[in-house]
Homo-oligomer: A and B are copies of this chain.
Amino acid sequence: MSKVMIIGAGGVGRVVAFKCAQHPEVFSEILLASRTKSKCDVIAADAKAATGHQHITTAAVDAENVPELAALIRSFGPKLVIHVALPYQDLTIMEACLETGVHYLDTANYEPKDEAKFEYSWQWAYQDRFKEKGIMAVLGCGFDPGATSVFTARAAKHFFDEMHYLDIVDCNAGDHGKAFATNFNPEINIREITQNGRYYENGKWVEIPPHSEMKVLNYPDIGPKDSYLIYHEELESLVKNFPSLKRARFWMTFGQEYLTHLRVIQNIGMARIDPVKYKGVDIIPLEFLKAVLPDPGELGENYTGQTSIGCRIRGIKNGKEQTYYIWNNCSHQAAFDETGAQGVSYTTGVPAMIGAMMVLTGEWSGTGVFNVEEFNPDPFLDKMNEYGLPWHEEVGVDLEF
């Protein structure tokens, strides 16, 4: 029975609040905080009505203000802070956790506002301070990173003596009926996917122009989809934690229309993250675009189809070549019916709740800063099956690579 504090009231915050509220035996008291308290109030009321949880409160907090965060943490007294606000805010929330001696969990690595740079260096640098304080920081516990990292840990534990080739494949075959929308924070989404592609091979990182490598891959229950090699942050920690990997890549599906929209957004300057002076105000085009695009939290209602995310791995078991595919498919409509949020928010929020459960129940323990593949994958994967993200695996499968 523990108190948990959730920061962030977007689609993922909604899912985390709902899923924590379904388990009062672990999350006995929940505080949901974000910049805008009214957003938290709506989610809290919905989660109470859906689950009957009696102890969900809300607060306003500026997640970039360490003293304000620390004061709120002290007054509520949680055992763990689940951070599902913006990646810009990872470091201030980690600082507040250090100051108050409270565990930390997030779903996306820190990135500076003025630079599209995805790497764990900033957060890994907190290793010694978290150790000294006797607390843990769990990094990247959404779906990808998160579930994909745990999938890889399961493969390593049960199916391979040596993993050589890892391909993470992320398909969203959903249809939200809008001409263009992003499935999570458009600012973060566009920063991420307009970057150069990058993958790991033979000890080195190889960089390629954005969307310059495509493969048609088949996804279970979905079929063939154009899949593009992009960089994704879990690659960095996975090749460090599984040094037998010779190559690690990440593939994401995009339709032609989506890529056309992205290309134009870049061409017209609306993906810029440097400020433009307008009416005397410094405005970052990409941030303003976010204000104009559909709110990803409101895509759920008419969202059909499903996501399919998994890991395809080739390596050696008992001296013989082995192939393995582990994946989850998630229906946008089922996610919406349960939580009022679409599948992309759902697949990120459920693993965050399960990770929090692992920490609070002691299944995952230690002091310092961790990526989730460093823990025992089995209890986490059991909970995925139980709590809405059932997964499947196949050995000896055609990996298409």
Q: List residues of A whose CB falls within 8 A of some B CB.
A: 179-180, 260-261, 264-265, 267-270, 272, 276-279, 281, 283, 285, 288-289, 291-293
Contact A276 B260 (CB under 8 A): no
Given A264-B261, A264-B264 in contact, is the A269-B283 Cβ separation under 8 Å?
no
Contact A261 B270 (CB under 8 A): no
| A294 CB → nearest B CB, Å | 8
Contact B269 A292 (CB under 8 A): yes
Given A265-B268, A292-B269, A293-B268 in contact, is the A279-B281 Cβ separation under 8 Å?
yes
| 19 CB-based A-B contacts, threshold 8 Å | A179-B268, A180-B267, A260-B260, A260-B264, A261-B264, A261-B267, A261-B268, A268-B289, A269-B292, A269-B293, A270-B292, A278-B283, A279-B281, A279-B283, A281-B281, A283-B288, A285-B288, A285-B292, A288-B288
Q: Which residues of B contact A289 (CB under 8 A)?
A: 268, 270
Q: A180-B264, A264-B265, A281-B281 are in contact. List 10 more A-B contacts (CB 8 A).
A: A179-B267, A180-B268, A261-B264, A268-B289, A269-B293, A270-B270, A270-B292, A276-B291, A278-B291, A283-B288
Question: Which 6 A/B pairs are nearest by Cβ-Cβ distance?
Answer: A179-B267, A264-B264, A269-B292, A180-B267, A278-B291, A261-B264
Contact B268 A292 (CB under 8 A): yes
| A36 CB → nearest B CB, Å | 13
Q: Which has the most chain B C-beta neighbours within 10 Å: A264, A276, A279?
A: A264
Q: Which residues of B contact A180 (CB under 8 A)?
A: 264, 267-268
The CA of A116 and the CA of B244, in the complex, are separated in Å by 62
Give the residue name and chain of the B residue nearest to A282 (CB).
B279
The CA of A285 and the CA of B270, in the complex, are separated in Å by 11
The CA of A283 and the CA of B270, in the complex, are separated in Å by 15
* Neighbour of A270 across the interface among B267, B268, B277, B279, CB < 8 A: B268
| A175 CB → nearest B CB, Å | 15
Contact B269 A278 (CB under 8 A): no
The CA of A283 and the CA of B276, in the complex, are separated in Å by 13
Q: Which residues of B contact A277 (CB under 8 A)?
A: 291
Q: Which residues of B contact A267 (CB under 8 A)?
A: 179-180, 261
The CA of A289 and the CA of B179, in the complex, are separated in Å by 19
Give the residue name and chain of the B residue nearest to A279 (CB).
B281
